[in-house]
């Protein structure tokens, strides 16, 4: 018998309004029919999913508490909310035209608002078993909404704590900025270092015409956690979506990004920095769809792997026939720091319009010997020279983060990972 | 008494290509010497072999302040008091000159003296606007040389080899660099200025000039050698 049955799904949806209830039971049907993806599916090609859902059980309530979020300490006057084991914990927060509340509660109390946002940028349950599971068994998380013209008074810092041991949780963050609104959110995804859990975070981002949403996601879960995330953003005319992802933790950490540049003049800036070690697998599937004219996108990711870690970046820029005067760029640079580590970097372009500017760059390689020689000629030990070079490698990505205040802690985390690897002789 | 730099019978090859065929040069403390030679004669190779670049197979001796550096790893040679100003300084993206300076001060024999040297040189060379910029990245030719001179000052070496410190610079910048080199003169340092043209030597007073052709020093003498090379070209020494 499965841990993930109809009764569990029904219980998860006890507060659902009618539209969500329907969606949930459809999703449960899909979940029951879905098999675990295999590497024959192009979109899972580089990842061996060596587990089944029933290796985990649904989380039975918020139990973990990791204390204050160290990341939030770097953000000036944040509005802090917490999601533990998939459940919103704490107080809703309301300001003039600006709402930060439990998604479950919002779906019940502000049903229309949530429905509109999810109509636009919800993640389709028929994508795969994880997306179906999220719609069938999840439901809570955070709803961030800014009404027309509202500039959010503070950065929303969402502390998502992943699972008690052995659980699967499905936190969902929905961010909607109506016309000309401006919203800024930092998500810290974390767990105890030794937690073994599955977390399926979902991000639904609706950027209204002329609006801006800045979102940073710092993925810092322990090496026993599998994180299989999805982000779907739809961007209106002359609107801007800025997204930064920092990938540090997870035995398997995947993020499937799907950004639709729908409106004329819409833009997306996507930046990433990741560092894998031990036998971590970091899997990035980034899709950028240019639908409107005069749209602009830039994807820029830098990553390093050491030990037996593997990283995958598969980027796709698709420019529809309607996407004339588009500018789109993707860059992915990877450092291989140990013989056992590897990185796949696969940028793709699919261009159906004829008046566009596109560029892509992709590199995978070791530290640069000339740089090392130069630094050592200044008296730096080989280890110090490497450390400086690794640090320098990430600076370009850190300089593009939507929240510059995160650069300091992120730099420290990355440097510490590398220094530990040096101290333990893995690089 | 030891010399700043004492190179004896230094040979280097790259695979089958014999580049340095037994170099002998001595630079006493307090002196500035010039090493001249046509392109391809082996001047940069000499610099890299002294610094410990392991691309080359090398033999012979190089004493820095009396200490043998051949066989030491690159960073140990630097810490023994040898400094190389690169002909083509390497770009190190994302690492600022300030970051590097902090590390250099950290490994110095006397960190507080190194910090003082860094502050003085920063002021003297007007480095303020460079310190936050990535090393040698999007700098003009003259700015790169200035950055090399600054690092030399921070390192406080016993022997400094400046490889084509004048290359790619306009006349004013050459004069400026020459002034910086002359300002380095000190009883605790010997300098070897490598140049292809005698131009920079017009603005300096080298104590001796060595001429290198095809991997050998073919002539060593006073500054008059540079004057002769300027009027007659390298044909005169071949
Ligand atoms: N890394 C290298 N690969 C191939 N040839 C080299 C290399 N370094 C030096 N050489 C050769 O060695 C000779 C000396 O070069 P170099 O030391 O750069 O001379 P200089 O600095 O006097 O112009 C030249 O013939 C050059 O082509
Ligand atoms: Mg040369």
ipTM comes to 0.96
Q: How confident is the model at residue B156, as a pLDDT?
A: 97
CA dist A216 and B219 (Å) reads 65
Which run of H or of E encompasses A249?
none
Q: How confident is the model at residue B197, as a pLDDT?
A: 82
CA dist A212 and A91 (Å) reads 25
Pick the atom of ligand 1 nearest to B48's CA. 17
What is the per-residue pLDDT across B98-155, written as a single tens digit (0 to 9) for each?
Answer: 999 999 999 999 999 999 999 999 998 989 888 999 999 989 888 999 999 999 999 9
What is the per-residue pLDDT across A13-23, written as a single tens digit (0 to 9) for each?
Answer: 999 999 999 99
CA dist A396 and A177 (Å) reads 29
Could B53 and A378 be called an inter-chain contact, meaning their C-beta atoms sit closer than 8 Å? no
Contact, B181 vs B207, CB < 8 A?
A: no
B 87-116 residues with CB < 8 A to A? 89-95, 99-100, 103-104, 107-108
Q: How confident is the model at residue A296, as a pLDDT?
A: 98
A138: left (phi over 0), alpha (psi -120 to 50) or beta: beta
More reliable by pLDDT, A396 or B196: A396
Q: What structural domains and CATH numbers belong to chain B?
A: 5-236 (3.40.50.300)
Nearest to A371 among B78, B90, B104 (CB): B90
* Number of the ligand closest to the Cα of B86: 2
State the nearest Cα–Cα gap between A185 and chain B, in angstroms. 27
Q: Encode chain B (238 residues) as per-residue pLDDT tens digits.
A: 799 999 999 999 999 999 999 999 999 999 999 999 999 999 999 999 999 999 999 999 999 999 999 999 999 999 999 999 999 999 999 999 999 999 999 999 999 999 999 999 999 898 988 899 999 998 988 899 999 999 999 999 999 999 998 888 888 888 988 998 898 899 999 999 999 888 888 899 999 999 999 999 999 999 999 888 888 888 777 6
Distance B236 CA to ligand 1 centre (A): 22
Best of B78, B83, B90 to disrupt the A interface by mutation (most A CBs within 10 Å)? B90
Could A379 and B73 be called an inter-chain contact, meaning their C-beta atoms sit closer than 8 Å? no
Q: How confident is the model at residue B234, as a pLDDT?
A: 84
Distance B15 CA to ligand 1 centre (A): 12
Q: How confident is the model at residue B238, as a pLDDT?
A: 65
Displacement of CA B177 from its chain's centroid (Å): 13
A305-319 average pLDDT score: 97
Maximum CA pair distance of chain B?
50
A222-241 average pLDDT score: 98
Residues paired with A329 in a beta bridge? A298, A359
Q: How confident is the model at residue A248, as a pLDDT?
A: 98
Q: At a CB cut-off of 8 Å and minimum separation 6, what does A242 contact? A: A212, A213, A214, A215, A268, A269, A270, A402
Burial of B234 (0-12, 13-18, 19+ CB in 10 A): middle
Q: How confident is the model at residue A405, as a pLDDT?
A: 98
Range in A34-43, A208-217, A279-288 with the lowest mean pLDDT: A34-43
Measured between beta carbons, the chain A residues lying within 8 angstroms of B84 are 377
- What is the value of pTM for the model shown? 0.94
Residues in chain B: 238
Measured between beta carbons, the chain A residues lying within 8 angstroms of B51 are 373, 377
Which run of H or of E encompasses B55?
none
Q: Which long-range contacts (CB under 8 A, 24 or more apart) does B71-78 make?
A: B73/A376, B73/A382, B74/A373, B74/A376, B74/A377, B75/A376, B75/A377, B75/A379, B75/A380, B75/A381, B75/A382, B75/A385, B75/B107, B77/A377, B77/B50, B77/B51, B77/B52, B78/A376, B78/A377, B78/A378, B78/A379, B78/B51, B78/B155, B78/B157
B231: contact with A, CB 8 A cutoff: no
* Number of the ligand closest to the Cα of B164: 2
Could B73 and A376 be called an inter-chain contact, meaning their C-beta atoms sit closer than 8 Å? yes
How many CA atoms lie within 13 Å of A250's alpha carbon, on the beta-carbon side?
28
What is the per-residue pLDDT across A69-107, written as a single tens digit (0 to 9) for each?
Answer: 999 999 999 999 999 999 999 899 999 999 999 999 999
CA dist A234 and A261 (Å) reads 6
Nearest to B92 among A379, A381, A392 (CB): A392
Contact, A334 vs A304, CB < 8 A?
A: yes
A363: contact with B, CB 8 A cutoff: no
Q: Which of A331, A321, A396 is nearest to A358 (CA)?
A: A331
Q: Express as a percent the part of chain A with pLDDT over 90.
A: 96
């Amino acid at each position: 018998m499965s841990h993930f049955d109809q009764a569990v799904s029904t219980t998860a949806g006890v507060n659902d309004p009618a539209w969500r209830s329907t969606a949930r039971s459809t999703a449960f049907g899909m979940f029951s029919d879905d098999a675990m993806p295999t590497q024959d599916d192009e979109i899972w090609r580089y990842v061996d999913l060596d587990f089944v859902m029933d290796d985990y059980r649904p989380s039975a309530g918020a139990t973990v508490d990791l204390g204050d979020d160290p990341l939030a300490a770097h953000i000036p006057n944040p509005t802090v909310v917490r999601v533990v084991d998939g459940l919103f914990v704490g107080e809703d927060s309301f300001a003039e035209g600006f709402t930060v509340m439990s998604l479950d509660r919002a779906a019940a109390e502000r049903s229309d608002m949530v429905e509109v946002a999810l109509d636009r940028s919800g993640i389709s349950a028929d994508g795969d078993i994880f997306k179906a599971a999220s719609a069938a068994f999840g439901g809570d998380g955070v709803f961030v909404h800014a009404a027309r013209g509202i500039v959010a008074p503070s950065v929303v810092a969402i502390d998502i704590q992943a699972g008690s041991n052995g659980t699967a949780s499905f936190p969902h963050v929905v961010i909607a900025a109506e016309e000309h609104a401006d919203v800024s959110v930092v998500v810290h995804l974390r767990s105890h270092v030794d937690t073994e859990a599955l977390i399926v975070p979902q991000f639904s981002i609706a950027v209204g015409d002329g609006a801006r949403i800045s979102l940073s996601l710092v993925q810092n879960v322990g090496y026993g956690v599998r994180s299989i995330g999805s982000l779907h953003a739809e961007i209106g005319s002359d609107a801007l979506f800025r997204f930064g992802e920092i990938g540090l933790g997870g035995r398997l950490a995947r993020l499937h990004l799907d950004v639709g540049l729908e409106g004329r003049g819409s833009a997306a800036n996507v930046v990433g920095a990741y560092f894998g070690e031990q036998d971590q697998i970091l899997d990035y599937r980034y899709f950028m769809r240019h639908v409107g004219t005069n749209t602009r996108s830039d994807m820029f990711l830098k990553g390093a792997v050491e030990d037996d870690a593997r990283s995958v970046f598969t980027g796709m820029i698709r420019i529809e026939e309607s996407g004339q005067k588009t500018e789109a760029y993707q860059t992915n640079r990877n450092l291989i720091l140990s013989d056992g580590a590897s990185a796949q970097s696969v940028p793709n372009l699919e261009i159906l319009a004829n008046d566009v500017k596109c560029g892509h760059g992709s590199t995978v390689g070791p530290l640069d010997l000339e740089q090392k020689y130069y630094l050592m000629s200044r008296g730096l030990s080989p280890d110090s020279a490497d450390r400086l070079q690794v640090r320098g490698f990430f600076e370009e990505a850190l300089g593009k983060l939507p929240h510059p205040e995160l650069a300091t802690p992120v730099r420290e985390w990355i440097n510490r990972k590398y220094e530990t690897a040096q101290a333990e002789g893995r690089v | 008494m030891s010399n700043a730099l004492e190179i004896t019978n230094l040979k280097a090859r790259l695979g089958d290509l014999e580049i340095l065929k037994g170099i002998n040069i001595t630079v006493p403390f307090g002196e500035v010497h010039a090493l001249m030679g046509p392109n391809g004669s082996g001047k940069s190779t000499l610099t890299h072999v002294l610094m410990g670049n392991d691309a080359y197979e090398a033999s012979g001796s190089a004493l820095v302040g009396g200490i043998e550096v051949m066989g030491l790893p690159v960073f140990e040679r630097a810490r023994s008091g040898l400094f190389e100003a690169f002909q083509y300084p390497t770009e190190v993206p994302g690492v600022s000159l300030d970051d590097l300076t902090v590390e250099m001060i950290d490994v110095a024999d006397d960190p507080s003296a190194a910090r003082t040297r860094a502050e003085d040189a920063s002021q003297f060379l007007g480095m303020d606007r460079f310190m936050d910029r990535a090393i040698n990245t999007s700098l003009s030719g003259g700015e790169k040389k200035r950055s090399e001179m600054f690092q030399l000052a921070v390192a406080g070496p016993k022997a400094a080899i400046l490889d084509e410190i004048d290359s790619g610079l306009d006349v004013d910048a050459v004069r400026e660099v020459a002034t910086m080199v002359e300002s380095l003169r000190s009883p605790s340092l010997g300098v070897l200025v490598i140049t292809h043209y005698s131009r920079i030597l017009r603005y300096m007073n080298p104590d001796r000039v060595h001429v290198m052709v095809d991997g050998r020093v073919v002539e060593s003498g006073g500054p008059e050698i540079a004057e002769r090379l300027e009027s007659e070209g390298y044909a005169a020494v071949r």
